[in-house]
Structure 1
């Protein structure tokens, strides 16, 4: 009783997700990972900025400062991070250097702390922030930039190599 329901398992190739889907997942996971770690840094007094800061301009009530607000904030940062990952994909994905990701993280830090600062009343002006908060925040933004940037650039390079190998096989 040998039933064969299609090609043998060993002959099937693993289905890969689309590149854009990988970028979206990388952005979402990166936002959740690094904002979650930033919250832990806040708990250990490395920074005075909580992830809940993202809710201040839009949400009313005390709940935003409690555990529910923290969870929702981290998820919202993950969703916003998708846009940052898509921006990296659109503009910088062809660069294979870690330094590009570091630069991207620094640019994001500057965007949040200098340009978007007035939107978030819980973040004091840059000159009034203490040294630990500045250093910790820069480090998290740089780590986020490297995480997202290197993941996307690596996948872009692997895709380029696969296409070249397929073209060489056909030719």
Structure 2
């Protein structure tokens, strides 16, 4: 039986590249986990809100503490998360394990809360944060790192597997 190459079911759609998928994953991860960070702030699981990092550190206008400031902060964090996803893609895309993503999240937390803390005057020093803020934000960053890291690694491994199968056929 001859296969008709003109049939639409036989034509494979061109999918996004792994790099593009990684950037989309990073943006989505930034949106999702910064929204969860805002929810944690509203329910007093954390002393710091996402707006404390991206808006309130440089702009003290009244609107930055309202809903517009929260939404804009979440979008900015989503955009900054593109950088994080690109770094993960460049360094760890071949490591297909949840633990690398969790470790990546912990490293990001250390960078944000310890190394870059002087850049954020509205965020208390690490020694002045209460224990539930420290624990909840570490958990949030671990979840973010796991989401972004494992998604990127899985997409990369899946793409490599599909490419190998195509070469065999």
Same fold (TM over 0.5): yes
Shift of 1:145: 0.3
CA distance in 2, matches of 1:40, 1:60: 21
CA distance in 2, matches of 1:136, 1:108: 14
Question: What secondary structure sits across from 1:16 in the alignment?
Answer: coil
Residue in structure 1 matched with residue 43 of structure 2 by the alignment = 44
Task: Give yes or no for the alignment of 1:127 onto 2:127.
Answer: yes
Q: How does 1:1-171 map to 2 (within 5 A)?
A: 7-53=6-52, 54-169=54-169
Counting matched residue pairs gives 164
CA distance in 1, matches of 2:57, 2:42: 22
Deviations 1:53-75 (A, max 9, x none): 11123324111111100000000
CA distance in 2, matches of 1:113, 1:162: 40
CA distance in 1, matches of 2:43, 2:61: 25
CA distance in 1, matches of 2:40, 2:98: 24
Is the 2:109–2:141 Cα contact (8 Å) retained in structure 1? yes
Shift of 1:27: 0.5
Runs of at least 4 residues off by over 6 Å: none
What RMSD, in angstroms, separates the aligned Cα atoms of the two structures? 1.3
Where structure 2 has 5 or more consecutive residues not aligned to the other structure, the ranges are: none
Structure 1-normalised TM-score? 0.92
Shift of 1:21: 1.2
Deviations 1:100-130 (A, max 9, x none): 0010000000000011101111111111100
Shift of 1:10: 1.6
Distance 1:66 1:164, change over 3 A: same
CA distance in 2, matches of 1:7, 1:68: 51
CA distance in 1, matches of 2:120, 2:167: 51
CA distance in 1, matches of 2:23, 2:157: 17
Shift of 1:158: 0.6
Task: Please identify, of 154-163 and 54-63, the stretch whose mean Cα deviation from structure 2 is larger.
Answer: 54-63
Shift of 1:28: 0.4
